[in-house]
């Protein structure tokens, strides 16, 4: 009696047809490659097929040896396909984690930039390196201290133009008398000890335009809720005299 059994398996995007022919009690097989597939999520079918073969072999121990080899081969292919799929999933998750981290970092940067602009409008300036804020009152005091250390004999002049003790309204032309004093001044950040630099100031903090801007913000500081600002933002430490 001759039996013919045809089994279709999917391996690595290729469809294989296994044909088993029983002649005089012996099995003969040949394989045909049919066509490429768009997807190969049929590894489950391969696994089930090989599992069924193993089960039948237990029922009939007289099955040819090559059937056991085929079962082992299909088991291995199913395992390889599953591992490859899990690796792709893991790689995809890793890439998604990186993209999520970058997106969150960018979003946090946008929020922080917007916050810096809002506080700058209120009179708080952030040092680019230390990332800490300082009020216009404290920054003017630091400028004054740096200048008085450099020009101790010009206290009256510095009280007028830097501290603005008389509440005057200056423009840049009024600072002609101060030109020689403002050639270079080291206004140090209170945390780093390095030159204070703001990303939003067009000029150095000791330049006339910056000093005039600080004056204008000091006059409006009474409107600012300082407790909220200092509580919600990283602030430079208070200077101890």
Residue 5 has pLDDT above 60, yes or no: no
| Model pLDDT, residue 67 | 53
| Model pLDDT, residue 83 | 73
Clarify whether residues 160 and 206 are in a common domain. Answer: yes
Clarify whether residues 53 and 129 are in a common domain. Answer: no
Clarify whether residues 58 and 133 are in a common domain. Answer: no
DSSP 140: H
How many of the other CB atoms lie within 10 Å of CB of 77? 18
CA 25/CA 2 separation, integer angstroms? 8
| Model pLDDT, residue 6 | 46
| Model pLDDT, residue 119 | 95
15 compared with 117, residue with greater pLDDT: 117
Residue 4 has pLDDT above 90, yes or no: no
Clarify whether residues 79 and 130 are in a common domain. Answer: no
Domains: count for the chain: 2
SS3 54: helix
Residue closest to 43 by CA, chosen among 7, 80, 90: 80
CA 73/CA 16 separation, integer angstroms? 14
Contact 219, 198 (CB under 8 A): no
Instruction: Give the chain's mean pLDDT.
Output: 77
Clarify whether residues 134 and 44 are in a common domain. Answer: no
Q: Counting every residue, how long is the chain?
A: 241
- Average confidence (pLDDT) over 81-104: 78
β-bridge mates for residue 8, sequence order: 17
132: left (phi over 0), alpha (psi -120 to 50) or beta: beta
- Average confidence (pLDDT) over 75-94: 72
| Model pLDDT, residue 180 | 86
| Model pLDDT, residue 90 | 76
> Pick from 88, 115, 144: which residue ends a domain?
88
- Average confidence (pLDDT) over 48-77: 57
Residue 162 has pLDDT above 80, yes or no: yes
Residue 98 placed within a domain? no
β-bridge mates for residue 10, sequence order: 15
Clarify whether residues 127 and 228 are in a common domain. Answer: yes
pLDDT digits (tens, 9 = 90+) for 179-225: 888 888 899 999 999 999 999 998 999 999 999 999 999 999 999 99
204 compared with 77, residue with greater pLDDT: 204
- Average confidence (pLDDT) over 57-74: 56
In this prediction, residue 81 has a pLDDT band, given cuts at 50, 70 and 90, of: low
With pLDDT > 90 as the criterion, what percentage of the chain qualifies? 45
CA 195/CA 22 separation, integer angstroms? 91
Which residues form the domain of 179?
Answer: 123-232
CA 149/CA 13 separation, integer angstroms? 79
96 compared with 168, residue with greater pLDDT: 168
Give the H/E segment covering residue 63: none
Residue 239 has pLDDT above 70, yes or no: yes
**Sequence-separated (6 or more) residues with CB below 8 Å from residue 121:** none
CA 56/CA 60 separation, integer angstroms? 6
């Amino acid at each position: 009696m001759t039996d013919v059994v045809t089994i279709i398996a999917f391996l690595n995007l290729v469809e294989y047809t296994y044909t088993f022919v029983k002649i005089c009690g012996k099995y003969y097989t040949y394989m045909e490659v049919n066509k490429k597939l768009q997807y190969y999520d049929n590894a489950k079918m391969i696994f089930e097929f090989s599992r069924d073969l193993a089960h039948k072999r237990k029922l009939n121990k007289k099955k040819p040896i090559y059937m056991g080899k085929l079962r082992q081969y299909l088991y291995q292919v199913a395992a390889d396909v599953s591992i490859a799929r899990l690796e792709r999933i893991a790689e995809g998750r890793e890439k998604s984690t990186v993209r999520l981290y970058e997106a969150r970092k960018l979003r946090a940067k946008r929020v922080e930039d917007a916050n810096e602009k809002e506080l700058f409008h209120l009179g708080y300036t952030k040092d680019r390196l230390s990332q800490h804020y300082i009020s216009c009152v404290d920054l003017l005091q630091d400028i004054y201290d740096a200048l008085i250390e450099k020009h101790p004999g010009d206290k009256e002049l510095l009280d007028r133009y830097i501290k603005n003790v008389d509440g005057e309204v200056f423009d840049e032309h009024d600072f002609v008398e101060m030109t020689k004093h403002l050639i270079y001044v080291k206004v140090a950040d209170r945390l780093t000890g390095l030159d204070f630099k703001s990303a939003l100031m067009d000029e150095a903090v000791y330049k006339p335009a910056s000093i005039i801007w600080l004056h204008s913000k000091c006059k409006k500081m009474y409107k600012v809720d300082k407790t909220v600002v200092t509580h919600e933002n990283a602030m430079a430490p208070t200077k101890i005299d």
